[in-house]
């Protein structure tokens, strides 16, 4: 049983982000974000939806706080919307925007829940995009000003800060593949974007520490391990190729102060860089990026299996038909979490690691008894928490776990069709309905342990989340 118990002080959390849950598009003087603009562009969002209302968290946050209290959360990871704080990305702060987060932070602290904010979860003010967005170094400078503004206001109460969420998604999905805002398809620009994100992370780290010397700062990376499809050297090289551009492109600069030479060579070969010199890197940038971090946040959802295609080029192998996948089509592969944590620890030795997101999209209906029996999510969570527990036993300095997500919400290009929440939203009323996994997670947090898999699954106190 000891192997199911977590260490004392292990941080149990849940995560959301502003654009995905807040709504209140125009409330309190909020400016336009690139995701507002992207969602308003026909054909970009699978269900044609937008985030004008989303989960209406902007107005219902006190109800949502009661859900968090019901869960017994130790921490809540949310993001701050830059367009609320600075509607056009620079200049004087918007008081109503800062007041919103100020009140949320205060209320979380009263509830005994650590506020764990992310400064940038993809909602760039559109005004900055109009001036070139993250492809421009000036946006990195603006991010530091925004960071200082937020930390000046909240830093007396917030101890831990995340700078950026998943720079790979911003750079590649947003600027190379065009699936995310701003929807560009320019691989060379994506490399500039990645660099400016990393640079702004380094600058913001210093700005946060200047404002609050005892603050702790970290970056969140979406870690995706790559496995070769076979022992063939070409497949091994395909896995190296993926890992280089997905994981090491971000982790190497932050922890080693250098871009990975093999991945740079891959980009040169692809014609995305003129040569091994990165034209957008200026003297001193890498030292800024490599500022020591207090923790590393990792988001883990799945793995990728890579092979050399018939033309020799690397490509992903889709999961075999009998492999369990979530509604995202992502393979359920908890072993990748344990192995990934060990690998990150071995290669980068962060002071502490926090699983900043982990969870699964499954669509389960409300039953005749009013319950949402999301057994597959529960199995997913159990498997991954077991892997996390094993990583702790392996000696990984894992300090916490944030479940993605508190609520079903706007899943970017998929709109509201992918449901990651512990709570569903009743169509029309947006009433929050706890899924079985919410009751289960509540039990895990209360016990600081995983229940024995053979124990019968009960809801426990069905009034836990009454509103
Ligand atoms: C991550 C994002 C988060 C959510 C999950 C499913 O990449 O950080 O906002 O969309 O995936």
CATH number of 2-465: 3.20.20.80
Atom of ligand 1 nearest to the CA of 222: 7
pLDDT value for 293? 98
Which candidate in 114, 166, 211, 307 is catalytic? 166
* Mean pLDDT (whole number) for 420-444: 97
* Mean pLDDT (whole number) for 298-305: 98
Residue pLDDT, tens place only, 278-296: 999 999 999 999 999 999 9
pLDDT value for 73? 98
> Who lines ligand 1 at CB under 6 A?
17, 20, 165-166, 169, 222, 299, 357, 404, 411-412, 420
What's the mean pLDDT when you consider all of the chain? 97
Considering only the C-alpha atoms of the chain, give the largest distance between any 2 of them, rounded to a whole number of Å: 64
Ordered DSSP codes for 345-393: HHHH--S-EEEEE-------PPPTTS----HHHHHHHHHHHHHHHHHHH
Tokens standing for residue 391:
């990583």
Residues pairing with 401 in the sheet: 12, 355
Instruction: Kindly tell me if the per-residue pLDDT of 90 is higher than 70.
Output: yes
* Mean pLDDT (whole number) for 95-100: 98
Cα angle for residues 64, 215, 138 (degrees, 5° grid): 90
pLDDT value for 304? 98
How far apart, in Å, are the Cα atoms of 354 and each of 34, 70, 232, 398, 402? Answer: 28, 22, 34, 6, 8
* Mean pLDDT (whole number) for 390-399: 98
Backbone angles phi, psi at 314, to 5 degrees: -65, 140
* Mean pLDDT (whole number) for 420-430: 98
* Mean pLDDT (whole number) for 251-276: 98
Residue pLDDT, tens place only, 438-459: 999 999 999 999 998 777 666 6
pLDDT value for 463? 81
Active site residue 331: no
- Which residue lies with its CA nearest to atom 4 of ligand 1? 411
Q: Which residues contact 441 (CB under 8 A, 6 or more apart)?
A: 14, 71, 381, 403, 422
Active site residue 357: yes
How far apart, in Å, are the Cα atoms of 87 and each of 125, 134, 146, 412? Answer: 7, 17, 11, 21
How many CB atoms are located within 10 Å of the residue 130 CB?
A: 14
What is the 169 CA–ligand 1 centroid distance (Å)? Answer: 9
Best mutation site among 329, 412, 418, 419 for ligand 1, i.e. most ligand atoms within 8 A of its Cβ?
Answer: 412
* Mean pLDDT (whole number) for 123-132: 98
How many CB atoms are located within 10 Å of the residue 238 CB?
A: 26
How far apart, in Å, are the Cα atoms of 51 and each of 86, 87, 124, 407? Answer: 19, 16, 14, 14
pLDDT value for 462? 72
From CA 220, how far away is CA 197, in angstroms rounded? 12
Instruction: Kindly tell me if the per-residue pLDDT of 329 is higher than 90.
Output: yes
Ordered DSSP codes for 432-443: EEE-HHHHHHHH
pLDDT value for 3? 82
What is the 410 CA–ligand 1 centroid distance (Å)? Answer: 10
pLDDT value for 457? 66
Instruction: Kindly tell me if the per-residue pLDDT of 460 is higher than 80.
Output: no
């Amino acid at each position: 049983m000891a192997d199911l118990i977590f260490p004392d002080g292990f941080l149990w959390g849940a995560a959301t982000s502003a654009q995905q849950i807040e709504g209140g598009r125009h409330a309190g003087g909020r400016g336009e974000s690139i995701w507002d603009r992207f969602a308003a562009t026909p054909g970009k969002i699978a269900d044609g939806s937008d985030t004008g209302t989303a989960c209406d968290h902007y107005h219902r946050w006190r109800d949502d706080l009661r859900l968090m209290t019901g869960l017994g959360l130790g921490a809540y990871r949310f993001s701050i919307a830059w367009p609320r704080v600075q509607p056009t990305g620079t200049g004087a702060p918007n008081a109503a925007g800062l007041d919103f987060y100020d009140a949320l932070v205060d209320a979380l602290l009263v509830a005994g829940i650590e506020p764990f904010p992310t400064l940038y979860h993809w909602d760039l003010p559109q005004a900055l995009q109009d001036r070139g967005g993250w492809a421009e170094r000036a946006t990195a400078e603006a991010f530091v000003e925004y960071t200082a503004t937020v930390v000046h206001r909240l830093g007396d109460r917030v101890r831990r800060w995340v700078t950026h969420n998943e720079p790979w998604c911003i750079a590649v999905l947003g600027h190379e593949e065009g699936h995310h805002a701003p929807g560009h398809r320019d691989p060379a620009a994506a490399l500039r974007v990645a660099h400016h994100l990393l640079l702004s992370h380094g600058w913001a780290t210093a700005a946060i520490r200047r404002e609050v010397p005892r603050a702790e700062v970290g970056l969140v990376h979406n870690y995706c391990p790559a496995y070769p499809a076979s022992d063939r050297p070409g497949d091994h090289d395909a896995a190296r190729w993926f890992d280089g551009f997905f994981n090491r492109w971000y982790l190497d600069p932050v922890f080693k102060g250098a871009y990975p030479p093999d991945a740079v060579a891959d980009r040169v070969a692809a014609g995305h860089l003129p040569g091994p010199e990165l034209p957008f890197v200026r003297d001193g940038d890498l030292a800024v990026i490599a500022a020591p971090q207090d923790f590393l946040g990792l988001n883990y959802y799945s793995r990728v299996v890579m092979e050399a295609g018939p033309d020799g080029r690397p490509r992903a192998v889709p999961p075999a038909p009998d492999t369990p996948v979530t509604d995202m089509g992502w393979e359920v592969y908890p072993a990748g979490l344990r192995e990934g944590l060990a690998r990150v620890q071995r290669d980068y030795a962060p002071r502490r690691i926090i699983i900043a997101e982990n969870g699964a999209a499954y669509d389960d209906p409300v039953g005749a008894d009013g319950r949402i029996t999301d057994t597959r999510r529960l199995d997913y969570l159990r498997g991954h928490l077991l892997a996390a527990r094993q990583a702790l036993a392996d000696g990984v300095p894992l300090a916490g776990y944030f479940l993605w997500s508190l609520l079903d919400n706007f899943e970017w290009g998929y709109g509201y069709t992918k449901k990651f929440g512990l709570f569903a939203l009743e169509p029309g009323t947006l009433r929050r309905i706890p899924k079985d996994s919410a009751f289960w997670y509540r039990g895990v947090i209360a016990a600081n342990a995983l229940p024995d898999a053979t124990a019968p699954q009960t809801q426990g106190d069905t009034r836990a989340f009454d509103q």
